[in-house]
Structure 1
Amino acid sequence: MTGSSRLTPPLAGAGRVAILGSCVSRDLWRMAGAPADDLLYISRTRLPSLFAVRPEGLALPEGPAPGLRPNPARALRTDLSKTGLDEIIRFRPDMVLLDFIDERFDLLAGAGGVVTASWELETAGWDALPPLMTLRRLDALGDADATLWRRALDALATLFAPGGALSGARPVLHEAVWAPALRTPAGRTEPLAPDLEITPGRRAARAAHNARLARMHAAARGAIPGLTFVKAPDSLVFSDPDHVWGLSPFHYVTDYYAEIWRQLGGG
């Protein structure tokens, strides 16, 4: 599949799919040229933020979010207004595809609520909105963050349990990780930097985040009823320097997407 621009046909019998994750899962449909009519995509929303209440007194500015394209702006509004969970439940998905790549962001947390400290939030300048400006930043790699994340995972798990709001949906975990190297279409490989700028001025180590992702994947497998998972072999976990979204440890080569799509049942 090296160099191929299209993958296999759309998922056979998948029905309605809700993605709760990042572009690494949404890109499967783009790479496959698959229709997105029955696809819901919720991104830039960390699990602790998904299950939090809307910060009291938060009034979002009307009109476009400064510096953001429509889709990222929509994702930011969804995170802050806390509508993502309701959107997924109302969508009545047959499958919920999870990935934890957007869990790399810090949280803003406090008595006023919990929100995702995303690049979009800072770019729009909305982290300065009251009451968000009073919230405390929690390091994504810290113990306090881990406690909030585990509580949110348990809340997610109850939705898939018998009688839960998503009990009719098939939960699937895309075990995506940060790639250690890039690979060109000609097959040349080069190591990537050991750290990444998550938001302006804040860098994080690939090794630390991959270790954290491994813990998250294991916790999800143990917590979510009926969870299945898809995962690419290490031989395909390479970044694509020509990726449409730019070079990143989680913007992969085409072969990666082809393998995940195959495991999902797309071909």
Structure 2
Amino acid sequence: MTGDPHAPGIGVFIWGSCVSRDTYSRMTPGTYRLLAYVARQSAISAATPPVTGVAPPRLDSAFQERMVRGDFESNLLPMIKAAATSIDVLLVDLTDERLGVLTVPDGTAITRSNELIASGADRSLREEYAHRTFGSDAHFETWLDAVDAVGRSIRAAAPGLRIVLLDIAWARHFENGEPTPASYGLSAAAGNGLMRRYVDAAAAALRAHVVSLPESAVTADAAHVWGEAPFHYTSATYAKAVTAIERILNTAPQPPRPEG
């Protein structure tokens, strides 16, 4: 998904999930413009070469198919480089890391996304390729090297770019007090515990401004447009994130854009 790089407003590039996209949709209307949205792409996939030995699955949703194809192509960094002169802020969240990656013997990687699983391709791919599970030491060590590499590449393409990392806890409860469901067997409490070291490492590697909302500040929306999940929040939760993001953008100095 890409927008007009010449349109007026603060240029935002999203690398993340619906957490970032839904937050962006509630930012001050007319002030921002969405340049691109890269989802379903782990830092491990982004930092490795495109997958060539297997084709991405066909999906009914054009958006979902485009995101999964982009993951196979490892297109995050090329897209950032192409849009570098227009990007004012890179908005990031790590929710799409939660299902781990499939590692291919040639050194490439495929993000294990909800779409990959729903397509049926995940089942056959896991018979051939190793699954590195989110939260395991093996996954984290590989991911740590990858996010460091991604951070260096972003700084080379867009020196001084303002990066905002959303550290929004998974909600344990809906507004009515009922507990949120697990996501692929991962409860909010477990997800928050596993995510902590990833967020801390990403903040350092990306040199990001961090927007942190702890469990006490978040609530899930049982009527969310994307369904029930611990990371599908109420409007009040998104509003808190927007306030924090806009405070950063209004106070953090705007770096010079790269030429070219």
> Is the pair's TM-score, using the shorter chain for normalization, greater than 0.5?
yes
Q: Which residue does the alignment assign to 1:28?
A: 23
| In 1, Cα distance between equivalents of 2:245 and 2:28 | 15
The one-letter amino acid of 1:189's match is G
Q: Which moved more, 1:81-90 or 1:241-250?
A: 81-90
**Are positions 1:261 and 2:249 aligned together?**
no
| In 1, Cα distance between equivalents of 2:111 and 2:154 | 23
The one-letter amino acid of 2:172's match is P
After superposition, where does 1:82-97 map in structure 2 within 5 Å? 82-92=74-84, 93-97=87-91
Aligned-residue CA RMSD (Å):
2.5
| In 2, Cα distance between equivalents of 1:55 and 1:132 | 15
**Are positions 1:50 and 2:73 aligned together?**
no
By how many angstroms is 1:158 displaced? 1.1
The one-letter amino acid of 1:191's match is P
By how many angstroms is 1:150 displaced? 0.3
Q: Which moved more, 1:30-39 or 1:132-141?
A: 30-39
Shift in CA distance, 260/109, structure 1 to aligned 2, threshold 3 Å: same
Unaligned runs of 5+ in 1: 1-12, 198-202
Does the 8 A contact of 1:240 with 1:247 survive in 2? yes
Q: After superposition, give the CA deviation of every residue in 1:100-156 in whole Å (9 maximum; x if it has no partner).
A: 111101210131321111121122233477x87521112112111111110111112
**2:25 is paired with a residue of what secondary structure?**
helix
Does the 8 A contact of 1:100 with 1:176 survive in 2? no
| In 1, Cα distance between equivalents of 2:98 and 2:135 | 8
After superposition, where does 1:212-227 map in structure 2 within 5 Å? 212-225=194-207, 227=208
Q: Extract structure 1 runs of 4+ deviating beyond 6 A.
A: none
Does the 8 A contact of 1:109 with 1:135 survive in 2? yes
| In 1, Cα distance between equivalents of 2:54 and 2:230 | 34
| In 2, Cα distance between equivalents of 1:124 and 1:239 | 27
Q: Which residue does the alignment assign to 1:196?
A: 183
The one-letter amino acid of 1:141's match is G
By how many angstroms is 1:236 displaced? 3.1
Shift in CA distance, 128/191, structure 1 to aligned 2, threshold 3 Å: closer
The one-letter amino acid of 2:75's match is T
Unaligned runs of 5+ in 2: 1-7, 251-260
| In 2, Cα distance between equivalents of 1:54 and 1:190 | 42
| In 2, Cα distance between equivalents of 1:177 and 1:14 | 29
Does the 8 A contact of 1:236 with 1:253 survive in 2? no
Percentage of pairs with the same residue:
30
| In 2, Cα distance between equivalents of 1:55 and 1:128 | 17
Give the TM-score, by structure 1 length: 0.80
Shift in CA distance, 81/215, structure 1 to aligned 2, threshold 3 Å: same
Q: Which has the higher contact order (CA 8 A, sep 6+)?
A: 1
Q: Which residue does the alignment assign to 1:6?
A: none
After superposition, where does 1:1-267 map in structure 2 within 5 Å? 15-32=10-27, 34=29, 37-60=33-56, 65-66=58-59, 68-92=60-84, 93-112=87-106, 113-127=108-122, 134-161=128-155, 164-183=156-175, 188-193=176-181, 195-197=182-184, 203-225=185-207, 227-265=208-246
Q: After superposition, give the CA deviation of every residue in 1:21-70 in whole Å (9 maximum; x if it has no partner).
A: 11011012333473674331111111101111122333446xxx23x312
The one-letter amino acid of 2:168's match is A
| In 1, Cα distance between equivalents of 2:187 and 2:23 | 26
By how many angstroms is 1:166 displaced? 2.5
Larger fraction in helix: 2
Q: After superposition, give the CA deviation of every residue in 1:173-226 in whole Å (9 maximum; x if it has no partner).
A: 11022111011xxxx322224x332xxxxx22433321122111222233333x
| In 2, Cα distance between equivalents of 1:171 and 1:190 | 34
Does the 8 A contact of 2:218 with 2:233 survive in 1? yes
Alignment: residue pair count: 237
Give the TM-score, by structure 2 length: 0.82
